[in-house]
């Protein structure tokens, strides 16, 4: 404390004000940097468009219209966001432990397949309130075991979780193809191998007044739940410690292996649930259409959200909107569909680079630390 002539009460007030200012500066960092990153990506992408001889203004206007401009566009966006929320959680939860899981697509495929497969012998007799919960459990179990195994391999055998989860995606696809083209193939559909449909009466409906299935609501609730788990429970705290410094966590006696397996299993369960909604709300059966790349876009969502479950929701909607507008951009501007992939890629890289600026810009630092 420096010399001051202020009364103690006033000193306390100014101290409080300074503290509030510092807090504000620190949290502003988490808002300003991503926004700057978005602007930089927008500028870079505009240069790309100009090089192609197209108008960036047209492009962004179309993205707005196709993704958010009409009530139809919003529904289109939300339908595409729902699976991304689940698959992003599959990346975000293990990321708290410092694990980079990129094979959520495999858990989604297997989850969807397990849900459809377990339904096959039950379709004829089970009422919908029995069938759907059984399918959910099957999907969660399949996804959970799949990614849980990645966590176990990492801890007990030292296998790199990134590579393992990616390679296991290919195994998951093979498992799906093996059963769908063989044992569980529905003979009434000779040209596109699929499991037997669960029937429209067993399908999950849409949120009244919209085209969006209930998976979106479940996804949002799951994000809130997992945010609380990761930030307000001892499990989440332990996971964060282990993610910060594995050795220190071990030295503290934290059950690191168990934490890894459980976090991975939760992650896989989320992706498996995405597969369940694909089957129960969209396709009605399992087939190769389950492999649609949601798991891979989920990686992008999670990184953009800095692995924060609450931020995943708006980011998934943002990317869902870009995907939803991709068609309109193709149609109106005569651009190839890879254009939106270029935008996604630019966003990804710029956001990753922007991460390195956290804590380095003096503007956001508390006054005393400058």
Partner 1 sequence: MSKLDFSRRTLLKSSAAGLTLLSGTGLSRLAHASDLTVGIVYVGPRDDFGWNQAHAVAAAALKEVPGVTVVEEENVPETIAVEKSMESMINLDGANMIFATSFGYYKPFVLDLAAKYPDVEFRHAAPLWTEGDPKNAGSYFGYLDQAHYIDGIAAGLSTTSNKLGFVAAKPIGTVLRNINSFLLGARKVNPDATVQVIFTGEWSMPVREAEAANALVDAGCDVLTCHVDGPKVVIETAESRGIKCCGHNASQAPLAPNGFITGAEYKWETIYKMFAADLAAGEPLPNFTGGGFDVDFVQNTPYGAGATEQAIAVADAAREEVKGGAPIFVGPIKKQDGSVLLAEGESFDNYEPALDQTDYLIEGVSGSIT
Query: Which member of 284, 295, 298, 309 binds partner 1 (CB under 8 A)?
Result: 284
Q: Which of residues 254-283 bind partner 1 (CB under 8 A)?
A: 278, 282-283
User: Nearest CA to 339 among 9, 53, 20?
Assistant: 53
Query: Which member of 160, 162, 231, 289 binds partner 1 (CB under 8 A)?
Result: 289
Q: For residues 236 and 275, which CB has a smaller minimum distance to partner 1 in the complex?
A: 275
Q: For residues 78 and 93, which CB has a smaller minimum distance to partner 1 in the complex?
A: 78
Q: For residues 184 and 282, which CB has a smaller minimum distance to partner 1 in the complex?
A: 282
Residues 6+ apart with CB under 8 A from 125: none
| Contact string 70-89 vs partner 1 (x = CB under 8 A) | x-xx--x--xx---------
DSSP state of 33: H
Instruction: Check residue 321 for interaction with partner 1 (CB under 8 A).
Output: no
**Virtual CA dihedral for 36, 37, 38, 40, nearest 10 degrees?**
90
Q: For residues 302 and 339, which CB has a smaller minimum distance to partner 1 in the complex?
A: 339
Query: Which member of 42, 327, 346, 365 binds partner 1 (CB under 8 A)?
Result: 327
Instruction: Check residue 354 for interaction with partner 1 (CB under 8 A).
Output: no
Instruction: Check residue 65 for interaction with partner 1 (CB under 8 A).
Output: yes
CA angle 283, 110, 166 (to 5 degrees): 120
Q: Distance between CA atoms of 118 and 102, rounded to whole angstroms?
A: 26
DSSP state of 289: G
Smallest separation (angstroms) from partner 1 to the CB of 367: 50
Residues 6+ apart with CB under 8 A from 48: 342, 346
Smallest separation (angstroms) from partner 1 to the CB of 72: 4
Part of the chain binding partner 1 (CB under 8 A), chosen from 50-58, 247-255, 327-335, 352-360: 327-335
* 211 SS3 class: coil
> What share of residues in the chain are helix, strand, coil (percent, to 5)?
75, 0, 25
Q: Which of residues 179-218 bind partner 1 (CB under 8 A)?
A: 190-192, 211
Residues 6+ apart with CB under 8 A from 134: 118, 119, 122, 126
Smallest separation (angstroms) from partner 1 to the CB of 74: 12
Q: The dihedral of CA 299, 300, 303, 308: what is its sign?
A: negative
Q: For residues 198 and 241, which CB has a smaller minimum distance to partner 1 in the complex?
A: 198
Q: For residues 44 and 288, which CB has a smaller minimum distance to partner 1 in the complex?
A: 288
Smallest separation (angstroms) from partner 1 to the CB of 188: 11
Angle formed by the axes of helices 215-232 and 309-333, nearest 10°: 140
Query: Where on the chain is the footprint of partner 1 (CB under 8 A)?
Result: 65-66, 70, 72-73, 76, 79-80, 190-192, 211, 278, 282-284, 287, 289, 292-293, 323-324, 327-328, 330-331, 336-337
């Amino acid at each position: 404390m420096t010399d001051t002539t202020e009364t103690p009460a006033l000193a306390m007030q100014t101290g409080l004000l300074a503290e509030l200012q510092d807090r504000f500066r620190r949290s502003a960092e988490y808002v300003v940097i991503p926004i700057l990153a978005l602007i930089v990506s927008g500028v870079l992408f505009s240069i790309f468009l100009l090089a192609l001889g197209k108008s960036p203004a047209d492009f962004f206007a179309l993205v707005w219209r196709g993704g958010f401009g009409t009530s139809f566009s919003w529904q289109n966006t939300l339908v595409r966001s729902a699976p991304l929320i689940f698959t992003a959680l599959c990346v975000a939860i293990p990321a708290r432990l410092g694990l980079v899981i990129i094979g959520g697509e495999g858990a989604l495929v297997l989850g969807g397949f397990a849900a459809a497969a377990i339904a096959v012998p039950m379709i004829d007799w089970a009422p919908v309130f029995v069938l759907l919960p059984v399918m959910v459990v099957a999907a969660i179990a399949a996804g959970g075991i799949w990614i849980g195994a990645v966590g176990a391999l990492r801890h007990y055998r030292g296998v790199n979780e990134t590579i393992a989860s990616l390679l296991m995606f290919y195994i998951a696809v093979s498992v799906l193809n093996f059963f769908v083209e063989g044992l569980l193939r529905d003979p009434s559909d000779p040209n596109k191998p699929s499991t037997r449909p669960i029937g429209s009466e067993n399908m999950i409906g849409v949120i009244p007044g919209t085209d969006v299935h209930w998976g979106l609501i479940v996804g949002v609730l799951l994000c809130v739940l997992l945010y609380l788990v990761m930030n307000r429970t001892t499990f989440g705290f332990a996971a964060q410690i282990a993610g910060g410094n594995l050795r220190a966590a071990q030295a503290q006696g934290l059950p690191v292996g168990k934490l890894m397996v459980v976090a991975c299993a939760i992650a896989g369960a989320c992706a498996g649930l995405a597969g369940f909604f694909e089957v129960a709300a969209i396709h009605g059966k399992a087939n190769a259409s389950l492999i649609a790349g949601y798991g891979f876009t989920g990686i992008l969502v999670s990184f953009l959200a800095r692995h924060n479950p609450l931020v995943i929701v708006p980011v998934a909607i943002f990317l869902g909107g870009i995907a939803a507008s991709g068609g309109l951009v193709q149609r109106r501007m005569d651009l190839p569909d890879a254009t939106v992939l270029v935008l996604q890629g630019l966003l990804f890289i710029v956001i990753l680079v922007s991460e390195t600026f956290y804590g380095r810009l003096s503007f956001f630092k508390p006054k005393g630390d400058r």
